[in-house]
Amino acid sequence: MSDVIEQYFVKNEPYYRPVADEVKLYEAAYSVRMPMMLKGPTGCGKTRFVEYMAWKLGKPLITVACNEDMTASDLVGRFLLDAQGTRWQDGPLTTAARYGAICYLDEVVEARQDTTVVIHPLTDNRRVLPLEKKGELVGAHPDFQLVISYNPGYQSLMKDLKQSTKQRFGALDFNYPQHDIETEIVSHETGIDSAIADKLVSIAERARNLKGHGLDEGISTRMLIYAGNLIAKGVDVHAACRMALVRPITDDPDMRDALDAAVTTFF
Ligand SMILES: Nc1ncnc2c1ncn2[C@@H]1O[C@H](COP(=O)(O)OP(=O)(O)O)[C@@H](O)[C@H]1O
Ligand SMILES: [Mg+2]
C-alpha cells in the first residue's frame, strides 16, 4: 500500500450512533460506488457519519473543506516549482481517485460552480478525472467514491448546486437526532450525565423551533457538545449555555433574551 494513502485510513472506530437505517443504505450505495450527497444542517453528524463509514468499510478518507476561494487546481493538482524544475502535485481529489479513497467534499456549495464541474466525469460511468494541465486522464480506482455534504438551509439562487451536479448523486437526509438519541450522544461525547444532557437537548429543541422566526439556524448537536464539555470542566451551566449555545447564533437582544429564558426554564 502506497504511503501516500496510508495516512488517510481511519485508525480507530469513530463513535457514531445510528439514527435510522443510514448505515445500511450507505453500505449499499458504496457497494455500487454511487456518489453520495449528505444533506442536513451544520453540526448534525454528517462528517462523523462519513468517518465512521470509512472506518467500517476499511477505506481511506480524504476530506476537503470547500470554500469560495477554492479553484479546480486545489482539487485536482498543479505544477510546483522546485530545484529540479517543475513537478506535478496531485490534489486531494486526484489522490483519492488514483488510490481508491472516499473523497468527502464538505460544504460543497461554498465552492464556485466552475470548481464543482471537475467532479462531473468522476460521477458518471466514465469514472475518470482529466488532468488537463498535465495531459493525463486518471481512471478512478475501483474503491473510489465521492461524497459531498450540502446544507439545504443556506442556499440562495446565486449559491446552489446545479441540477446537472445534484442529479449525479444519491442523497441521504440528516437532521438533529431525536431527543433520546441526541441525549445519548451528548452524554457520551462529553461525559456529563444524561439528566443534564437531556436538558441541553430540550433547550436546543426550543431554539430549533425559532428557526425562520428570527433565527437562521437552530442550536446544533455540535453546540450542545461544546456546552457539555464546558459543564464537564466545572463551568456553571448558565454561563456554559450562554457561551456555547446562545451567543454564537444570534446578536439580536430580544432573541438572546428568549434563548436565555429557555436556559433558565430547564436549569
Ligand atoms: N449520530 C451521531 N453519533 C455520534 N456523534 C454524533 C452524531 N451526530 C452528531 N454527533 C456529534 O456532533 C458533532 C458534530 O457533528 P458533525 O459530524 O461534525 O456535523 P456536520 O458534519 O453535520 O456539520 C460530532 O463531532 C459528534 O460529536
Ligand atoms: Mg461537517
- Atom from ligand 1 closest to the CA of residue 44: 22
Is residue 222 in contact with ligand 1, taking CB distance under 6 Å? yes
Cell of 132: 488537463
Nearest CA to ligand 1 atom 12: 222
**211 DSSP assignment:** B
Right CATH for 3-173 from 3.10.20.600, 3.30.499.10, 3.40.50.300, 3.40.50.2300: 3.40.50.300
Q: Could you tell me where the beta strands, DSSP code E, fall in 66-209?
A: 77-82, 85-90, 102-106, 128-131, 136-139, 145-150, 170-173
Is residue 221 in contact with ligand 1, taking CB distance under 6 Å? yes
Nearest CA to ligand 1 atom 8: 45
Rg (CA), the chain: 21
Closest CA to 60 of 92, 19, 16: 92
DSSP, collapsed to helix, strand or coil, labels residue 136 as: strand
Paired residues of 82 in beta bridges: 85
One pLDDT digit (tens) per residue for the chain, 267 residues: 578 999 999 999 999 999 999 999 999 999 999 999 999 999 999 999 999 999 999 999 999 999 989 999 999 999 999 888 999 999 999 999 999 999 999 988 888 888 888 999 999 889 999 999 999 999 999 999 999 998 887 665 567 788 888 999 999 999 999 999 999 999 999 999 999 999 999 999 999 999 989 898 899 999 999 999 999 999 999 999 999 999 999 999 999 999 999 999 999
- How remote is the CA of residue 83 from the centroid of ligand 2, in Å? 38
Mutate to test the pocket of ligand 1, among 147, 185, 223 (most ligand atoms within 8 A of CB): 185
Runs of H (alpha helix) within 35-154: 46-57, 72-76, 92-99, 113-116
- How remote is the CA of residue 266 from the centroid of ligand 2, in Å? 29
Q: What's the confidence (pLDDT) of residue 109?
A: 85
Is residue 15 in contact with ligand 1, taking CB distance under 6 Å? yes
Closest CA to 162 of 113, 119, 129, 115: 113
Is residue 218 in contact with ligand 1, taking CB distance under 6 Å? no
Mutate to test the pocket of ligand 1, among 42, 46, 48 (most ligand atoms within 8 A of CB): 48
Q: What's the confidence (pLDDT) of residue 155?
A: 60
- How remote is the CA of residue 139 from the centroid of ligand 2, in Å? 28
Q: Which ligand is nearest to the CA of 221?
A: 1
Q: Which ligand is nearest to the CA of 105?
A: 2
Is residue 256 in contact with ligand 1, taking CB distance under 6 Å? no
CA–CA separation, 39 and 11 (whole Å) = 26
Is residue 44 in contact with ligand 1, taking CB distance under 6 Å? yes
- Write the Ramachandran bin of 257: left for phi over 0, alpha for psi from -120 to 50, otherwise beta: alpha
Closest CA to 34 of 139, 149, 145: 145
DSSP, collapsed to helix, strand or coil, labels residue 78 as: strand
> Does the pTM exceed 0.85?
yes
Domain map (residue ranges) of the chain: 3-173, 179-266
Is residue 39 in contact with ligand 1, taking CB distance under 6 Å? no
Nearest CA to ligand 1 atom 7: 45
